[in-house]
């Protein structure tokens, strides 16, 4: 190749999900040929995000402040807490439904074989939160996969331990599917028609 | 969304070819969740590339030095000059064939309706190069599209003006296709069996 910097750029693009050698090459050429200003903006945005975005102390969602805007908002209903696996799931629910409660982002799901237990998902902090007594409904919106269901079962038990009512969006989200990929209408319906967990 | 920096990052990813809102979101989350070091490397590589990669004075390919390594190499055959539309096409030929001559990268193709004429493709500089008398064969490897064929015709005429023999890889590359997307074997064969332009 004609430039070591270009080779490094192509290699660096491969860190992105679903980007192989050919797409990485196309991205590098595209930026250099037509989008230098946009490439510089992406470089700046990446550096700032990596440096300054951490996790909210309350909900574990991505945040550039110790407590995220949602958790510090005065207009959210503190009696409802919705547990999701990922920031993408949280965003999908926020965009698809009229939910006005708070969230708790696990940043994963229980997966004993991968060494991911309650501690790795911050469930001790979730327990303290439930112990505070403000939350009356825990909406368990983990994905309907095997691991997501096992996580939901665990969260249901945890809620009952603190006299909090656990509910789960059940209808509509296809088994094995992920919230993030479900269309808005389906997700909104599933969320609205959630039922108490047994 | 929970973070303006995250929103900016998602927006910035959309500058990449084929990346819509959903993929941009997935890229941003992926970097923040699992690839912070890789994200920082990509930020650095992008900034360096945008800042320091220009075009080679001789061949117009991307280069971080005034003259690229290929043009300044003592081991390339200066009597053969291969004209391609893009750096990606040049790379495809370099990787697929045993070609040891030099290149000229148009960074486009003749397209009068878009205001791209001979001047925009640096054909004046190509003409001076042919006038120098060192080149004996001009391999016209523009794409077999309507605009690529028109460009090839123009280049064939230009070569003859300077008593340079124009040739064109003909067989194998599907009509309307682009070199960049042709498999190595086909490209290698097409390049090897090029015929003199009429
Ligand atoms: Zn928060
Ligand atoms: Zn060069």
Complex prediction ipTM: 0.83
Cβ under 8 Å to B: A residues 76-135: 86-88, 90-91, 107
CB pairs A-B closer than 8 Å: 179
Instruction: Give the distance (Å) from ligand 2 centre to CA of residue A43.
Output: 27
Domains of chain B: 4-52 (1.10.8.420), 74-196 (3.40.1360.10)
What pLDDT digit, counting tens, does each position of A131-149 carry? 999 999 999 999 988 899 9
pLDDT computed for residue B182 by the predictor: 76
**DSSP designation for B176:** T
Closest residue to A50, CB basis, from B11, B43, B91 = B43
Contacts of A26 (CB under 8 A, 6+ apart): B17, B18, B88
Q: Give the span between the Cα atoms of A180 and A187, in whole angstroms.
A: 9
The Cα–Cα gap between A141 and A151 comes to 10
What is the Cα–Cα distance from A39 to A43, expressed in whole angstroms? Answer: 6
CA atoms of B13 and B156, how far apart (whole Å): 41
**pLDDT for the residue numbered A175:** 62
Rounded to two decimals, the pTM is 0.81
Looking at the complex, does the CB of residue B146 fall below 8 Å from at least one CB of chain A? no
C-alpha B55 – ligand 1 centre gap (Å): 47
pLDDT for residue B177: 66
Q: Are B3 and A56 in contact (CB under 8 A)?
A: no
| d(CA A44, nearest CA chain B) in Å | 7
Cβ burial of B71 (10 Å; 0-12, 13-18, 19+) is buried
Residue B60, min C-alpha distance to chain A (Å): 11
Which chain A residues are closer than 8 Å to B40 by Cβ? 46-47, 50
pLDDT value for B171: 58
Q: Collect all residues of chain B within an 8 Å Cβ-Cβ radius of residue A91.
A: 1, 25
Per-residue confidence of chain B (198 residues) as pLDDT tens digits? Answer: 668 999 999 999 999 999 999 999 999 999 999 899 999 999 999 999 999 999 999 999 999 999 999 999 999 999 999 999 999 999 889 988 889 999 999 999 999 899 999 999 999 999 999 999 999 999 999 998 889 999 999 999 999 999 999 999 875 666 666 777 778 888 887 888 788 887
The SS3 call for residue B78 is: strand
- Work out the minimum CA distance from A71 to partner chain B, whole angstroms: 9
Judged by CB atoms closer than 8 Å, whether chains meet at B5 and A52 is answered as yes
Output the tens digit of pLDDT for each of chain A's 198 residues.
668 999 999 999 999 999 999 999 999 999 999 899 999 999 999 999 999 999 999 999 999 999 999 999 999 999 999 999 999 999 889 988 889 999 999 999 999 899 999 999 999 999 999 999 999 999 999 998 889 999 999 999 999 999 999 999 875 666 666 777 777 888 887 887 788 887
Residue among B147, B145, B188, B13 at smallest CA distance from A43: B13
Could you report the per-residue pLDDT of A45-79, keeping only the tens digit for each?
999 999 999 999 999 999 999 999 999 999 999 99
CA distance B118 to B109: 9
What does the DSSP assignment read for B97-143?
A: S---EEEEE-SS--BGGGTB-TTTTTHHHHHHHHHTS---EEEE---
Closest to B166 measured CA to CA, from B156, B154, B151, B181: B156
| Contact assignment for B41 to A12 by CB distance below 8 Å | yes
**How many other CB atoms are there within 10 angstroms of residue B65's CB atom?**
15
């Amino acid at each position: 190749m004609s430039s070591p910097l270009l080779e490094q750029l192509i290699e660096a693009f491969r860190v992105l999900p679903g980007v192989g050698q050919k797409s990485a090459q196309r991205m590098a050429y595209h930026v250099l040929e037509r989008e230098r200003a946009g490439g510089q903006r992406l470089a700046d945005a990446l550096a700032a995000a990596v440096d300054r975005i951490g996790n909210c102390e309350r909900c574990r969602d991505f945040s550039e402040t110790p407590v995220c805007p949602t958790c510090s908002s005065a207009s959210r209903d503190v009696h409802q807490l919705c547990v999701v696996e990922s920031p993408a799931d949280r965003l999908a629910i926020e965009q698809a439904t009229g939910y006005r409660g708070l969230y708790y982002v696990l940043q994963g799901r229980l997966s004993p074989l991968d060494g991911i237990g309650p501690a790795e998902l911050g469930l001790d902090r979730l327990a303290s939160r439930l112990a505070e007594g403000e939350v009356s409904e825990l909406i368990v919106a983990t994905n309907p996969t095997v691991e997501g269901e096992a996580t939901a079962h665990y969260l249901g038990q945890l809620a009952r331990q603190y006299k909090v009512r656990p509910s789960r969006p059940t209808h509509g989200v296809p088994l094995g599917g992920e919230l993030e990929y479900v269309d808005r209408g389906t997700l909104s319906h599933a969320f609205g028609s959630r039922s108490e967990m047994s």
